[in-house]
Structure 1
Amino acid sequence: MPVLEIPAPVSGQAVSLTGVPDEMFSGGHMGQGIAIEPSEGKLIAPFDGKVAHVVKSNHAVIIEHSSGLQLLLHIGIDTVSLKGSGFISHVASGDEVKAGQTLIEFDIASIRAAGYQTVIPVIVTSNGETIPEVACHYGQVTAGTNIILTVASRQ
C-alpha cells in the first residue's frame, strides 16, 4: 500500500483519540486514528472507495479504499442508543462512493440535546495482517480539504 493522505470527512476540530470518552476508541482497541469535534452535521467520503458497511442505526460507516485500507467513521459516543434518530444515511453497504460525496447527515443539536457527545472517531481498522503506521494531523479542519491522517503500511 502506498502512503495515503486522508482528508477530513467532516469539518471541525481534529483532536487526539485519547480524549474520546469511550475506552474502545481512546484505548486504541478499534485501531489507530483521530477524532473530530464536528462543526457541521455532514459526513463525507474522504476518498473514492466502497461502502463496506453502514451500521443499521446510521451512526457509523466503514469505507474501503482501493488499497484495502478500511476507515471507520463513527458519529458520536454511545449514539447507537438513538436508534437512528437524528441520522440520515445517503449510502448503503456495497455502494461505490466518490471523494466528497455525502455519506451521512446528522443533527448535532438533537444528538447533544439527547445527552450524547458528537465527537467523531475516524479509525484506520486493522485488517489483521499488517498494522499500518498512522500519523495524525490535529487542528481546525475543513471536510475534504485538510489532511487528518497519513497512513503507510509497514512491510
Structure 2
Amino acid sequence: MFNGWLSKNKVTAVAIASPLTGEAVPLTEVPDEAFAGKYMGDGVAIKPGEGKLVAPFDGVIAHLIDSMHAVIIEHASGLQLLVHIGINTVALQGKGFKAFVASGDKVATGQTLIEFDPELIQAEGYPLITPVVIANQEITERLEYDYKTVVAGEPALLQAVLKK
C-alpha cells in the first residue's frame, strides 16, 4: 500500500548520522589530495576512537570494496555516501577488516557494517583518518556539517540538502 510513498523527488534533505565514534574534522586534514581537495566529494573526515563502522542512515549497500576498507551506502533519495576507513588501506588487502554486510544488503541506521583494527592499521603505517563524503555530489544543493566529537549512530554529522 505504501510502496513507493517516499518518492525520490519529494525528499529535500538527508540527515546523516555519524558512521564512527571519534572526532569530525575538515577534509583538508586528510593526507590524500583526492579527499583533501574534495575530488572524491564533499564531507568531513573522522579520526576514529574505536574500530566500528555503522550505517549512517537506512539504505542499501551500493558497493562494499573487496578489501573491506571502504563502502558506499545509498539512501532512498539516491544520495550515495562513501566511507573510506584510513588512507591507502586498500594495500592491507582486507587484513584487519571484517565486514558484516555485502553489496546489495539493506541496512538500518546504527547497524554494524565493518569492524576494523585501528592499532593494526596504524602499526602498518597507514593514517586512520576516515573520509566520509557524498559520492554523487551533483544531486546536492549544499552540505551542512559541524566539526565536533561524534558517536557512531548518533544524528547530525551531516545534512545533505538535495537539489529540487
**Normalising to structure 1: TM-score of the pair?**
0.95
- Say yes or no: does 1:29 pair with 2:61: no
Q: Which has the larger radius of gyration?
A: 2
Q: CA deviation at 1:132?
A: 3.3
Residue of 142, 159, 162 corresponding to 1:150: 159
Q: Give secondary structure in 2 for the equivalent of 1:132.
A: strand
What letter corresponds to residue 137 of structure 1 in structure 2? D
Q: CA deviation at 1:154?
A: 2.9
Q: Distance in 2 between matches of 1:145 and 1:102?
A: 13
- Say yes or no: does 1:12 pair with 2:26: no
Q: Distance in 2 between matches of 1:139 and 1:78?
A: 25
Judged with a 3 Å threshold, the aligned counterparts in structure 2 of structure 1 residues 146 and 98 are, in CA distance, closer, same or farther, namely closer
After superposition, residues 19-98 of structure 1 pair within 5 angstroms as: 19-98=29-108
Root-mean-square deviation (Å) = 1.1
CA contact (8 A) 1:51 1:95 kept: yes
CA contact (8 A) 1:10 1:36 kept: yes
- Say yes or no: does 1:113 pair with 2:132: no
Equivalences, count: 154
Q: Distance in 2 between matches of 1:127 and 1:18?
A: 18
Q: CA deviation at 1:55?
A: 0.3
1:72-124 Cα deviation digits (max 9, x unpaired): 01000000010100000110000001111100000000000000011110011
Q: Give secondary structure in 2 for the equivalent of 1:147.
A: coil
Residue of 134, 139, 142 corresponding to 2:143: 134
Q: Distance in 1 between matches of 2:157 and 2:137?
A: 20
- Say yes or no: does 1:104 pair with 2:104: no
Q: Distance in 1 between matches of 2:117 and 2:51?
A: 6
Larger mean Cα displacement after TM superposition, 84-93 or 137-146 = 137-146
Q: Flag as ranges the 4+ runs of structure 1 deviating above 3 A.
A: none
CA contact (8 A) 2:98 2:116 kept: yes
What letter corresponds to residue 48 of structure 2 in structure 1? P
What letter corresponds to residue 134 of structure 1 in structure 2? L
**Normalising to structure 2: TM-score of the pair?**
0.90
